[in-house]
A and B are shown apart, each in its own frame.
Chain A
Amino acid sequence: MEFLSYLINGLGLGSVYAIIALGYTMVYGIAKMLNFAHGDVIMIGAYVAFFALTNFGLPLIPAVLLSVIVCTVLGVTIERLAYKPLRQASSLSVLITAIGVSYFLQNGAQLLWSSATKVFPAVISNGSLNIGSLQISYLTLITICVCILVMAALTLFINRTSTGRAMRACSEDKGAAALMGINVNFIISVTFAIGSGLAAIASVLLCSTYPSVFPTLGAMPGIKAFTAAVFGGIGSIPGAFLGGLLLGVIEILAKAYISTQLSDAIVFAVLIVVLLIKPTGLLGRKLSEKV
């Protein structure tokens, strides 16, 4: 019974990682860059939702929408200003720029909203579902459901719409896609918009479960979600979903049954083992090399 409750908690945590990992993986799949500022977009999303809920007194859904809108605009702006000029530059230059953006957002947030922690209001039901002695909080259930919904919607979008098809084409070969009349820059912007919008949803879920809002909030979930994305095979959307869930479950189980101190080491050790067995992650595609 205890195991089941750990498992469900792990799935809840993993769902949040999965939604964040989707942002990483989509951007990587299409723009081929590691967007290390993604975690900080989550932080901005959390602040926007916090102020919408407390200072403006908005109900939950409009607050989430506002947060999604702000993050989407922010994501696209960051892409336009900082990453787009570097389309032809080496991937390392883009990586460093992303880190610069991350520092900028963190320090900007600290200046704007101070470094003091704010507590995210309990907007999602606090109760729990009891099945026998098993107790599952509604929040965890909602988190898991939202994650599945997001995943399903994204899969439909990617597979059924023309923009989705264009995105897949870009991730295969940007040059060929451009020749087929796809506006690659627009597609990259759309990718950033979706990734950042998802970050906003993730931020509300994250802060409902762990209600602390502070400027370095996004750093740790960011790294974990990035790990999850690689775990599942970076660039692959189902991979990010699977990687996120597995990472959450492994983290909670390692804490519960091995050691709270070593849980991080265990998570990363599992990642290494997986990559050694499947060098492109669980669901990543094997790249063939050309001479």
Chain B
Amino acid sequence: MKNKKQLFIFDPAYRGRTASFTLVIAAYVILQALRSSGNLSSLFASLLVPVTCYIVAAIGLNLNVSVSGELNLGQAGFMSVGAFTAVCVSGRLVAAVSAGIPRLIISILCGAVIAALFGFAIGVPVLKLQGDYLAIVTLAFGQIIKSLITNMYLGFDENGFQFSFVENKCSLAPGGKMLLNGPMGATGTQRIANFTAGTVLIIIALIIVYNLIYSKSGRAIMACRDNRIAAELTGIHIANTKMLSFVVSAGLAGAAGALYGLNYSTLVPNKFDFNTSILILVYVVLGGLGNMTGTIISTIVLVLLPELLRSLQDYRMLIYAIVLILIMLITNNEKVKTMTKSLRSRFAAGRGADKKEAA
């Protein structure tokens, strides 16, 4: 792959990338237009930021699951690290940096960096394992992170920070603030996240992920996924290569968590449990492994679905479950598969260049 080719956004080899960016920007423009004309309902307005967070986390996970072929069941753990880091940083800087935007940027950066560091630390042991064992260890780390954050107490007052573990020993002077209050998490956070920041974050995430996929390291990662031993024989350093994608994924999850944490006035550690990890995994699988555009679309649909089913009252989660099962059954049905395959070959004759993107 020659470098100059990357300049052509309409190159069929990069169709996936073009589609992702077009989708994100178009959605942003339409939604902002709707919002500023007062035509966006409050329900949908309240969903904008969380959706962008989930998309960023899902893009990160997609890199992990499909590009490097590792089933990560602990993505919520990294989101949690990012979220609580950002909430603490933002809470500490309320007085020093009163403007929302710079504080938001600083907090998200801190969240992403700390989560990436966690990703690195966890990656060292985790990446020695394979397959389902790797999955369960990421699950275990997710649970451990949740458990640790649930037991952390961090407060600050005019005398500086106070930290305690397991038991809350912080005694703050009047006017002090608990940044982390154990199981109760963070309360009284200033809500400085917004949709524009979320969209920018998605675009940054896409740029990082696509650059990685289309780079030499990206090809090395995929080579490791497809045949570890063969890749090793060609001189690829497996551990480093896998670590790169794992750390990037953790960092993206951290940034997503940071944005999420700063969108609500309260955040509890229990939010980022096993179910949240699974939820993000569902977005990725449903969107199609390795397909970032698909991930974005499936995240939007699956976040919206339960909200649109609100009128069904008690039945909505039941229907949601049924829809989930049916989608899986239909998309994997042999008859449907052959049908789409023949349709595809009829329409896409001569356009076989998007192999790059498919898993």
Contacts and interface: CB of A to CB of B under 8 A. Distances in A.
B7 interface: no
Nearest to A223: B274
B133 A85 contact: no
Given A92-B71, A93-B285, A96-B282, A234 B132 contact: yes
A99 interface: yes
B17 to A, nearest CB: 23
Interface stretch (A54-62, A192-200, A264-272): A264-272
Given A100-B325, A111-B318, A269-B144, A275 B282 contact: no
Interface stretch (A13-21, A102-110, A169-177): A102-110
Nearest to A36: B278
Given A93-B332, A262-B166, A265-B147, A100 B324 contact: yes
B172 to A, nearest CB: 22
Q: Main secondary structure on chain A at its contact with chain B?
A: helix
Nearest to B65: A92
A97 B325 contact: yes
Given A99-B278, A111-B315, A272-B140, A264 B328 contact: no
Contacts of A85: 329, 332-333
A279 B317 contact: no
B125 to A, nearest CB: 5
Interface residues of A, number: 44
Contacts of B318: 103-104, 107-108, 111
A93 B328 contact: yes
B207 interface: no
Given A92-B71, A96-B324, A264-B147, A272 B329 contact: no
Contacts of B333: 85
A8 interface: no
Interface string A231-269: 000100000000000000000000000010110110011
Interface in B230-252: 230
User: Which residue, of A86, A89, A271, A272, has the highest number of chain B Cβ atoms within 10 A?
Assistant: A272
Contact of B322 (A88, A104, A271, A280): A104
A103 B314 CA distance: 13
A34 interface: yes
Given A99-B278, A99-B324, A275-B129, A86 B332 contact: yes
Size bin of chain B's contact surface: 35 or more
A276 interface: yes
Nearest to A234: B132
B28 interface: no
Contact of B137 (A82, A264, A275): A275
A103 B317 contact: yes
B215 interface: no
Contacts of B21: none
Contact of B150 (A95, A107, A111, A261): A261
A23 interface: no
A184 interface: no
Nearest to B229: A291
A261 B328 contact: no
10 contacts: A34-B132, A93-B332, A95-B281, A101-B321, A111-B318, A227-B136, A271-B137, A272-B141, A272-B144, A291-B230
- Cβ-closest 5 pairs across A and B: A103-B321, A100-B324, A265-B147, A104-B321, A268-B140
Interface of B: 65, 71, 125, 128-130, 132-133, 135-137, 140-141, 143-144, 147-148, 150-151, 166, 227-230, 274, 278, 281-282, 285-286, 289, 314-315, 317-318, 320-322, 324-325, 328-329, 331-334
Given A103-B324, A280-B133, 20 more contacts: A28-B132, A82-B329, A89-B328, A92-B285, A93-B285, A96-B285, A96-B328, A99-B278, A99-B324, A103-B320, A104-B321, A111-B314, A223-B274, A259-B166, A264-B143, A269-B144, A275-B133, A275-B137, A279-B130, A291-B229
Interface of A: 28, 34, 82, 85-86, 88-90, 92-93, 95-97, 99-104, 107-108, 110-111, 223, 226-227, 230, 234, 259, 261-262, 264-265, 268-269, 271-272, 275-276, 279-281, 289, 291
